[in-house]
Amino acid sequence: MLDESFLKLYLKYTSKQESPEDFHLWVGMTMVAAALGRKCFIKRGYYNLFPNLFTILVAGSARCRKSTAINIGVDLLKGVPSTRVIGGKITPERFIEEIKPLDGGSPPNVLVHSGELSVFLTKQQYGEPLIHILTDMYDCPKEWTYKTKNKGQVILNDLFLCIIAATTPDGVAQGIPPSALLEGFASRVLFVYQSDTPRRYAIPELSQEDEDLRLELCALMTKIGELEGEFTLTDGAKAWYINWYNTMEPPADKRLEGMWGRRHDHVLRIAMVLAGAHLSKEIDEGFLDGAVRAVETVEMNAPFAFAEIGGDQQTNYLSRAATLIMRAKRISHSEVLRKLYPCRADQFKVISETLIESGLIKRDEAHPSIYVWIGDPSPS
C-alpha cells in the first residue's frame, strides 16, 4: 500500500489551480474510477458492483474553472490504454460506435468527458435518447442491446461507463430533460456543487517539483489501471457498513430521494476508488468513512445545484439572490436589488422574505437594510 495515495498527491499537484479543492477531489476520484474499470468489483450477492462514477461539477459560469479542473484530470488518463475518453456533440448511434470494441472483444472502459454538459447532451432531438442510454449503461450490464435506425440491433457485452462533466445550476435545470431528472438519471449522478473558490492565482507557475509530481501521478495512474479482481471489506469494515446502513435516515429534500436510494452503492463505489488510489483491494473502515463523508458533502450542497429546476424567472432571481448574499456574507438591500436588475422591488420583497423564513439569511439587528447570510455555506 502507498504511504500517500494518488488522491493526496493529486490534490497537492492541483493546489496552484484556481478551482476549489472539492472539484479537484471529485475529478481525481472519477479518474481513478475510470482507470479501475470493470475488471474491479465488489460482490453484492445477486450482482457485482463496479467502481464507475457519474460526476457533474456544478457552479456559476467561469467562477470555479470547472472545465480546467476536469481537463487536468483527464490528461492523466493517457497512460491507461484500456480507458477510452469520449466527448463533444454526439448522436446516440455515433456514441455506440465509439464505445464498440475495435477487435470484436469487450468494449473499453469508457469515460464521457464534457466541459459543458449541454454540449454533450445537446437540446437537439437526440439529446434525450442519449441520456436514457447513459442511464441504462450505469449499472455496467453484462449484455446491452440497442436498436439503431440504420444498422439494426447492436449488442454490447461487459460495459463500463464513467462520466465527468460540468454545468451551471441553470444548465442542470435547462440542459437535462425533465424526464431524466424525474426518473433514473439524476439518482445516478453525484452533483458536486460549489458557489465560489477561495483560490486566486493570476499567473500560476509550475516548479520542477510540480512537473516531477505530474510524472509520478501518471505512473501511479498506470498502476491503478493494472489493478483487477474482487475488492473485499475487512471484518471491521463489514460491521461498520452494516451499522451505517441500518441507521441511514431519508433526506428532508424530496429532490434527493433518488440519490438517497442509491446512497449505499455510491458509498461502496467511492470506497473502492479510495482503496484503489492506495493500490489496495482491501476496504477498511477508514475508506468507508471517507466515502460517507464525501457523499454527505454532495448531498448537503446538491439543493444549490437543483435551485433552478422547475422554476421561472422568480426562481432564477431567488437563486441569484441567495448566491449573492452567501458570497458577500453581509450585503445591503439596495446593492442586492441593483445586482438583480431587472428584478422589481416588489418581487425582491417576496424573495428576501422567502430567504429569511427559510433560515438562510437574516436582517442585521442594528441595520435592518443589511442582509446577513446564516445558512450553511458550501465548504471549500
Last residue of a domain, one of 305, 335, 351: 305
Q: How far apart are CA 276 and CA 223, in angstroms?
A: 10
Question: Is there a domain that residue 350 lies in?
Answer: yes
Least confident of 67-71, 104-108, 217-221, 226-230: 104-108
Least confident of 98-102, 207-211, 235-239, 371-375: 98-102
Residues 263 and 351 occupy one common structural domain: no
Q: How far apart are CA 244 and CA 221, in angstroms?
A: 31
Structure letter (DSSP) for residue 108: P
Residues 181 and 295 occupy one common structural domain: yes
Nearest 5°: the CA angle 160, 162, 164 is 165
Specify the CATH number for the domain of residue 98.
3.40.50
Question: Is there a domain that residue 135 lies in?
Answer: yes
Between 78 and 74, whose confidence is greater? Answer: 74
The model's pLDDT over 220-240, given as tens digits with 9 standing for 90+, comes to 999 999 999 999 999 999 999
The model's pLDDT over 281-327, given as tens digits with 9 standing for 90+, comes to 999 999 999 999 999 999 888 877 776 665 555 666 777 788 788 87
Closest CA to 95 of 104, 85, 105: 85
Closest CA to 35 of 91, 73, 90: 73
Q: How far apart are CA 320 and CA 331, in angstroms?
A: 14
Residues 103 and 146 occupy one common structural domain: yes
Residues 242 and 352 occupy one common structural domain: no
Res. 218 pLDDT band, cuts 50 70 90: very high
Residues 185 and 82 occupy one common structural domain: yes
Residues 227 and 343 occupy one common structural domain: no
Q: How far apart are CA 232 and CA 34, in angstroms?
A: 19
Residues 241 and 299 occupy one common structural domain: yes
Question: Is there a domain that residue 13 lies in?
Answer: yes
Question: Is there a domain that residue 93 lies in?
Answer: yes
Highest mean pLDDT among 35-44, 173-182, 196-205: 35-44
- The domain of 19 spans 6-305
| Confidence (pLDDT) at 240 | 97
Number of domains in the chain: 2
Last residue of a domain, one of 250, 270, 305: 305
Question: Is there a domain that residue 378 lies in?
Answer: no
The model's pLDDT over 326-361, given as tens digits with 9 standing for 90+, comes to 878 899 999 988 888 888 888 888 888 888 887 889
Question: Is there a domain that residue 365 lies in?
Answer: yes
| Confidence (pLDDT) at 215 | 94
Report pTM: 0.81
Residues 317 and 289 occupy one common structural domain: no
Question: Is there a domain that residue 380 lies in?
Answer: no
Residues 286 and 188 occupy one common structural domain: yes
Residues 103 and 215 occupy one common structural domain: yes
Specify the CATH number for the domain of residue 354.
1.10.10.10
| Confidence (pLDDT) at 175 | 65
Q: Starting at the edge strand that comes first in sequence, how are the strands of the sheet with 330-332 ordered?
A: 330-332, 370-373, 361-363
